[in-house]
Structures are given as C-alpha cells and as structure tokens.
Amino acid sequence: MSGPTLLGQHAPLPASPEEARLERVHNPHTDTNYTARFTVPEFTSLCPVTGQPDFAHIVIDYVPGKWLVESKSLKLYLGSFRNHGAFHEDCTVRIGKDLAVLLTPKWLRIGGYWYPRGGMPIDVFWQTGKLPAGVWAPDQGVPSYRGRG
C-alpha cells in the first residue's frame, strides 16, 4: 500500500462506503501502547426500508499497532454513509470491521449511539479482543438516551 492520496487536495464526498477509500499511515510509536479516539457526533445514514435519515453519535477507540487511520480518509468514509441505506447494527459493525481489517490494531471498539426512530434508540457496540494490559481506555462518554423526562 502506498501513502495517503487524499491529503492536500480536494476530495469530494464518496457516494457510498463501497466507493470510499480508507487510508492508513505508519504509527511512529509502535513501541508504546496508547488509545486513539475518533468521535463523530453527527453521523448519518438512511433507513433501508423508509429512506428516512438516521442519526448517531459514533465513538471509535483503538490501540494502534503498525498503522494509524488517516483522519481525512476516515472523515470521507464516514460521510459516505449519508446516502447509504443500512440498519444501525450493520453500519456500526461494518465501520468497526473495515477499520480492523485496514489497521490490524491491538484493540478496537466502536460504540454507535443511535437517536430514536419509532420511539426507540438503538445502541450498538463491537470490539476486537481485549484491551491490552496497562492501557487506559476511558468511558465513551455518551449517556444513555433519556428523552425529555
């Protein structure tokens, strides 16, 4: 795999996750275990049945191995779900699996905190293996949905 191709140039939002190109860069601290976090408070996708928009707060934590995800490619990849029809579970788990395949991290977890649709929020969680000993992975900081009560 060559280096990043999206940095420093105009890159339109891909039309779908299939068209998006996740990229990676070398981790300069492979000798150190640490947690990196991406927070996406305005993630959107489409309901595959109704075509109506679905909204989520996505939190991705990972302990890098040899690779880091290149953040511009991640932003474009996540934005490509805007016109993609899939259930909450599919979106959340797919993002986690795509990142795990790309990065081969020491550990990765994703939390998809979906806003209510049909009166019911759906939260989806996925992770690879166990957090390495001695690594701090803070709570994802997204409260359970409480409504207005």
Catalytic residues, by residue number, are 47, 54
**Confidence tier at 22 by pLDDT (50, 70, 90):** very high
- CB atoms under 10 Å from CB of 149, counted, come to 3
pLDDT of residue 66: 98
- SS3 percent helix, strand, coil of the chain, rounded to 5, is 20, 30, 50
Q: What is the structure's pLDDT at 40?
A: 97
What domains can be seen in the chain, in order of their start residue? Answer: 34-128 (3.30.1130.10)
pLDDT at 1 over 70: no
Across the range 79-95, mean pLDDT stands at 97
Q: Tell me: pLDDT of 7 over 90.
A: no
State which H helix or E strand residue 76 sits in.
Answer: helix 71-79
Q: Report the C-alpha gap between 139 and 39 in whole angstroms.
A: 12
- Residue 119 banded pLDDT, cuts 50, 70, 90: confident
Q: What is the pLDDT of residue 146?
A: 74
pLDDT of 136 higher than 70: yes
**Average pLDDT score over residue span 59-74:** 98
Tell me the C-alpha distance between 2 and 15, whole Å: 23
What's the pLDDT at 4? 77
More confident residue, 99 or 6: 99
